[in-house]
Copies of this chain bind each other. A is one copy, B any other.
Amino acid sequence: MSDDDFDLNMFLPYLLNQAAEASSLAFQQIYKDRYGMLRTEWRVLFHLGLYGQLTASDIGARANMHKTKISRAVQKLTERRFVARARDAGDRRLEHLTLTAKGRAAYAELHAVAQRYDIALTADMRPAERDMLRRALVKLAKVRPEGFT
């Protein structure tokens, strides 16, 4: 059964998923426990906190998230008064999203946690390693299925 030189734990898609899951866990605990948010919701929150007013499509394009996920996340965040919606006067298909005061407060705290957490995750790496890791991940995040059958 044991194969030549293939190691499942070194298979990049698998390894990346394991690393992503493990490294997300502690942060997930925090936004879940403190704010009852899902992953989709903190992502929307962060996009609005970082980039200011955006539409749902903007967020979808930036975050690579399906529009229905965003629609539902925005609905939840709006119900809970983290986010405010405003129809565009010129093009009434568009809805501009912004953080409320409550949303900005939540963002401010989670943003601080995220910064500390990221530093903790890479604490035992040398700066060159950190940079190389991030560069490699950015490249992998841009991979698009074309070119492989």
Q: How far is the CB of A146 from chain B (nearest CB, A)?
A: 8
Tell me the A21-43 residues at the B interface (CB within 8 Å).
Answer: 21-27, 29-30, 43
Which residues of B lie under 8 Å from residue A2 when comparing CB positions?
Answer: 50-52
- Assess whether A133 is in contact with B134, with CB atoms less than 8 Å apart: no
Contact with B along A46-59 (1 / 0, CB 8 A): 11111110000000
Bound complex: CA A14 to CA B145 (Å): 20
| B136 engages A26 (CB within 8 Å) | no
How many protomers of this protein does the assembly include?
Answer: 2
| Closest B residue by C-beta to A64 | B18
Asked whether A93 is an interface residue with its Cβ less than 8 Å from the other chain, the reply is: no
Dominant secondary structure of chain A at its interface with chain B: helix
A48 to B2, CA, bound (A): 10
Chain B's nearest CB lies how many Å from the CB of A61? Answer: 13
Q: A50 contacts which of B3, B21, B25 (Cβ < 8 Å)?
A: B3
The interface stretch among A74-82, A84-92, A118-126 is: A118-126
Whether, in the assembled complex, A15 has its beta carbon less than 8 Å from a beta carbon of chain B, the answer is yes
- In the complex, are the beta carbons of A8 and B50 less than 8 A apart? yes
Q: Known contacts A19-B140, A26-B148, A117-B148; can you find 5 more A-B pairs with CB under 8 A?
A: A1-B51, A15-B138, A19-B20, A19-B137, A22-B142
